[in-house]
Structure 1
Amino acid sequence: MESYDLIIIGAGPAGSTLAKSLENSGKRILLIDKQDFPRDKTCAGWVTPAVIDALDIDLAEYGNARTLQPIRRFRIGMMGQPAVENDHGSTISYGIRRCEFDDYLLARTSVPKQLGTPVKSIVRKDDNWLINNAFSAPLLVGAGGHFCPVARLIGDGPGGHETVVAAKEIEFEMTPEQAKACEARGDTPELWFCKDLKGYAWVFRKGNFLNIGLGREDNHKLTEHLQDFVETMKTTGRIPSDLPGRFKGHAYLLYDHAARALVDDGLLLIGDAAGLAYTQSGEGIRPAIESALLAADVIRHAQDFSATTLQAYGDAIAARFGHRRSVTEEGFQVPDWIKMPLAGTLMRSHWFTRKVVTEKWFLHQELPALAANS
């Protein structure tokens, strides 16, 4: 049995950031993931300058042999209406491929890793957690996404009535012919909102890679919505007519409607395992990174790993992201004043799509970067 001070389940951006942040804390850390890296991870994949700053990423170094697509415009519309394009005048985000980004972050940390290792059993014995009867630690951190096994130990909240966003997407490298035919531009991601405002679709070109997807607050007619969107994009020339492969599905929780407790005795959740995706956009990379930094600060100074002590992390999350609202509220947090019929008019407004949709909902430019503490 190998003993550690904490074991992190999940080596994505949240898990690797937490491990990196605690490298010099004197704590013995083990990072476990069911997959080997680099691994396939379909994701629209853009990161804001706040994420770059928080992770102290050298853009020139990262962009060497990796996809790094500067973004300075957004093209936004409601399905069935013409889109509005806004030029922000400078780079406001960067397109990345998650298979590269996650592998890069993981490679930066020197903590011991057990990759390609599914978690088959978690047993509580005395004050320790035993993983697969092979590893033990008094603190277990769940960073394994929506279906993280650590999250199941804490529970899915009262009655499990959380609103789950379901999404389907595809990412592939275009052939020269496809790239020539595709009218979507790399510096201009496209966002298309469903008419009922219960989700949105996107077209995001990153160099010769193209990502297309659609997410809604539940599975209701998700495939039908996606098929209609894809056909419209093909007809208008936004995407190639011959898409390869099948769309992959995934799920996540929106912050305001996730009912999961964040801590318990010897347990702590970060990233999508904690249900931290931004309620207005569903974007989860920045909340994942910031939750890991906040967790690292609490773990570094914790005298014990009781729920009472770890609640300082829950308090820090509430201070950073706000207090969660009632889990009975539905889906994407679109204010009542934006509901139909006003929504169609607002989505044709350059001011609204730039200042509210892009800069506030998707980029959270009003929120300064969260720096790592040493």
Structure 2
Amino acid sequence: MFDCIIVGAGPAGSTAAYHLSNQGRSVLLLEKKSFPRYKPCGGGVSPAIQQWFDFDLTPVVDNKVNRVRFTWKKGDPVETELDTTEPFWMVQRDVFDNFLVEKAVEAGSELQDNSEVTAVQISNDIASVTTSKGKFDARYLIAADGASGAMANWLGFKEAKQFLGAVLEVETAVAPAERNTAKFEFGSLKNGLLWCFPKSNGYSLSAGIIRGGKGKVKDLEKQLTNYASELGINLSQSQFYNYPMNLWSSERQLHQNNALLVGETAGIADPLIAEGIRPAILSGVKAAEAIVKALAGDRNALAGYTDTINSEIGSDLVLAQRLSGLFFQFPGIAYRVGVKRPYAGKMMSRILCGELRYADITDMAMQRLKSSLIPGRG
């Protein structure tokens, strides 16, 4: 019997596995695909994640961005230098995720990839997981199988509202002047945004429906294709992917019986800019801490995990959700009175890099947006 079984070897799951194994706990890490595997994602990640690991992450940083360019309907641009300690990181998810998995295995975790979970049951304080390679038991279970996974539903958690994301991966030469600039486009995609991240071998162009509903896959593909053409990107070597997103909107219960939800499974993604990697990794760290405490006899440890995520991550993302709701309801005004102001881009860059929280800016941003909607003000 294992101390913990983790279903899903993305950043949240592999982070939890690494930290549990580092504490001498026995861990089985299950993944339905074979590693390394591709993951649809823009690949932008805050350098702040380095604080949660005792090994160097820079070997798998594909590129670094120190400049951001915002546009409104492909025009009206505003650019800003990142006023941060460390530039924004770009990663290739197959390389990045595999690196974290390898570190977890080196720490003592047992990996079974190409192993699909077909059933899960918790009885008498034992979690039993049935896979395509057999049945395994553990004292605790972490569900990290992502927004499209079945674990949360099987475990009886409330279904999260899903939104639609997409990425257009383009393999092409990147001009030196473009290698260090991330681009965000507002106004073209209703209830969402587009963004373009430069990599060493091309671009990841992404789209996300942030407000209102899932949207249509064909609309996202059309928007991304048009966006790439506007940017002058050669699409001869390109591939389109779509995927569901669970964005944070309110406090949630993330523990039940002997199980915890982390990362995309828990819906811990930014509802304004759809950032998911940094909060996913933090949830993996906190889940590992909770299970170590539970194994030591703390009966309130799993409930403490829910409280910790809601207070340390969720409360800030609730503010982002409120700001997102107003922003995407009145995007033209929001762009004019928010994004185009000189300090706005710098503040957003510091949020992207993990050096600023939404709690530090939301009150001021909301007041500015609201005042612009009142006749005679703004």
Query: Shift of the alpha carbon at 1:78?
Result: 2.1
Q: Name the residue aligned to 1:251.
A: 244
Conserved? CA contact 2:162–2:244, under 8 Å? yes
Q: Name the residue aligned to 2:129.
A: 131
Go from structure 1 to structure 2 and tell me whether the alpha carbon gap of 1:319 and 1:331 turns closer, same or farther (over 3 Å shift). closer
Go from structure 1 to structure 2 and tell me whether the alpha carbon gap of 1:89 and 1:121 turns closer, same or farther (over 3 Å shift). closer
| TM-score after normalising by structure 2 | 0.82
Residue from 276, 280, 284 that aligns with 1:284? 276
Go from structure 1 to structure 2 and tell me whether the alpha carbon gap of 1:145 and 1:221 turns closer, same or farther (over 3 Å shift). closer
Residue from 42, 65, 73 that aligns with 1:71? 65
Conserved? CA contact 1:194–1:201, under 8 Å? no
| TM-score after normalising by structure 1 | 0.82
Query: Shift of the alpha carbon at 1:130?
Result: 1.6
The aligned runs of 1:63-102 (5 Å cut-off) are 63=59, 66=60, 68-88=62-82, 91-102=86-97
Q: Name the residue aligned to 2:145.
A: 144
Distance 1:207 1:9 in 2: 31
Go from structure 1 to structure 2 and tell me whether the alpha carbon gap of 1:72 and 1:189 turns closer, same or farther (over 3 Å shift). same
Distance 2:331 2:135 in 1: 55
Amino acid aligned to 1:208:
N
Structure 1's unaligned 5+ residue stretches are: 368-374
Distance 1:107 1:125 in 2: 31
The aligned runs of 1:239-318 (5 Å cut-off) are 239-245=233-239, 247-257=240-250, 261-303=253-295, 308-318=300-310
Conserved? CA contact 1:263–1:307, under 8 Å? no
1:188 aligns with 2:144: no
Distance 2:197 2:219 in 1: 20
Query: Shift of the alpha carbon at 1:291?
Result: 0.8
1:51 aligns with 2:45: no
Query: Shift of the alpha carbon at 1:163?
Result: 3.3
Query: Shift of the alpha carbon at 1:251?
Result: 1.2
Distance 1:301 1:124 in 2: 19
Distance 1:6 1:225 in 2: 39
Distance 1:56 1:334 in 2: 38
1:105 aligns with 2:100: yes
Go from structure 1 to structure 2 and tell me whether the alpha carbon gap of 1:330 and 1:270 turns closer, same or farther (over 3 Å shift). closer
Distance 1:214 1:332 in 2: 19
Q: Secondary structure at the match of 1:22?
A: helix
Q: Name the residue aligned to 1:371.
A: none
Q: Name the residue aligned to 1:363.
A: 353
Give per-residue Cα distances to partners, 1:55-82, cap 9 Å, x unaligned: 24425xx43xx55201100111222433
Distance 2:162 2:177 in 1: 29
Structure 2's unaligned 5+ residue stretches are: 358-378
Conserved? CA contact 1:75–1:85, under 8 Å? yes
Query: Shift of the alpha carbon at 1:12?
Result: 1.1
Amino acid aligned to 2:169:
E
Q: Which has the higher helix share?
A: 2
Q: Secondary structure at the match of 1:135?
A: strand
Amino acid aligned to 2:182:
P
Give the count of matched residue pairs.
348
Distance 1:337 1:225 in 2: 17
Go from structure 1 to structure 2 and tell me whether the alpha carbon gap of 1:129 and 1:332 turns closer, same or farther (over 3 Å shift). farther
Amino acid aligned to 2:196:
V
The RMSD of aligned alpha carbons is 3.0
Query: Shift of the alpha carbon at 1:137?
Result: 1.1
Q: Name the residue aligned to 1:114.
A: 112
**Overall identity of the aligned pairs, in %:** 27
Query: Shift of the alpha carbon at 1:230?
Result: 2.3
Conserved? CA contact 1:86–1:350, under 8 Å? no
Q: Secondary structure at the match of 2:178?
A: coil
Query: Shift of the alpha carbon at 1:325?
Result: 8.7
Conserved? CA contact 1:140–1:150, under 8 Å? no
Go from structure 1 to structure 2 and tell me whether the alpha carbon gap of 1:126 and 1:229 turns closer, same or farther (over 3 Å shift). closer
